[in-house]
Amino acid sequence: MELEKDLQLALEQRQFYIEYQPKWNVKMHRMAGFEALLRWQHPRLGTVTPTEFIPLAEETGLIVPITRWTMEEACRQCKVWQSQGIGQPVSVNLSGRLFHTDSLIDMVQSALAEAALAPDMLELEITESMVLYDINEIVRQLEAVRQLGVRVSMDDFGTGYSSIGLLDRIPIDALKLDRLFIGDLESPSKRAIIKAIVLMAEKLRLDVVAEGVEDKEHIDFLTQLGCHVMQGFFYGKPMKNEEIADWIRSAG
């Protein structure tokens, strides 16, 4: 397939770049980190979204070198921010397919070492769909990276292959509430579910991040429900490096 060949070339030809989206702690009035979102600038097709090329990368095994590049680049950038006085952690999305290989731990260690970045400045976002893979293997690899001091969060929580039982098995530090919940906060049942998730997270000593926060109403609802860390277009869209310093100045 054409796109498959192109994907192989994309790494060599430096066609990937990262956009960073801020997370904001409403209670503390301060930033809570950046999420790294991968972008592919295709020479003919223009920007190809990860929803299109990640599945292809998974099928072809290219997900390993692509994730390695993303993690290295995000760690380097995080270190640059630190030197500019922006001491914010960065999170990188992981595909479940990655746990098939034994490359994660080495990938994390070398990305941190190469950037001379402290482990607590890196976070990994996994999704519930990972349960489709060998759960014992996932637990083993996640425990190893957490031992290093790297944080792990469960992305898109509450949709897809949700299983509360998973929270008891998979070692994580935080939950990211899927943006499908936040888009429908007028629904009393959705609010009840969010409230219950927040309470459960408290008991389990997990942080909660709400995704897809787009307006003031969302923020008010979420704050009432006890959720204080938010990510979404209201605070900032995914941005290129060059835009970050300006965004930080305007966010005060």
- Which residue's C-beta sits nearest to ligand G? 232
Q: Please say which residue, 39 or 140, places its beta carbon nearer to ligand G.
A: 39
When asked if residue 243 is in the footprint of ligand G (CB under 6 A), the reply is: no
Q: Does 38 bind ligand G (CB under 6 A)?
A: yes
Q: How many residues in the shown chain lie near ligand G by CB under 6 A?
A: 21
**Residue in 91, 116, 118, 115 with CA at minimum distance from that of residue 32:** 91
| 3-class SS of residue 157 | strand
Partner touching 88 among Na ion, ligand G, Mn ion, none, CB below 5 to 8 Å by kind: none
What residues between 143 and 162 interact with Na ion by CB under 5 A? 155-156
Distance CA 237, CA 99 (A): 29
Nearest-Å Rg of the Cα atoms of the chain is: 18
Query: 89-108 mask for Mn ion (x: CB under 5 A)?
Result: ----x---------------
Give the dihedral sign, CA 125/40/79/148.
positive
Contact yes or no for 99/133 (Cβ under 8 A): yes
Sign of CA dihedral 101, 178, 3, 19: negative
If one asks whether residue 73 binds Na ion (CB under 5 A), the answer comes out as no
Report which DSSP code applies to 45.
T
Q: To the nearest whole angstrom, how small is the minimum distance from the Cβ of residue 5 to Mn ion?
A: 28
Strand, helix or coil for residue 107: helix
Return the SS3 of 186: coil
- Residue 37 near ligand G by CB under 6 A: yes
Report the distance separating Cα 72 and Cα 66, nearest Å.
Answer: 10
Number of residues near Na ion (by CB under 5 A): 3
Per CB under 6 A, contacts with ligand G among 201-220 are 211-214
> Restricting to residues 96-155, which ones interact with ligand G according to CB under 6 A?
155
- Is 125 a binding residue for Na ion by CB under 5 A? The answer is no
Residues at the site binding ligand G, with contacts judged by CB under 6 A: 21, 37-38, 49-51, 54, 70, 93-95, 155-156, 179, 211-214, 232-233, 238
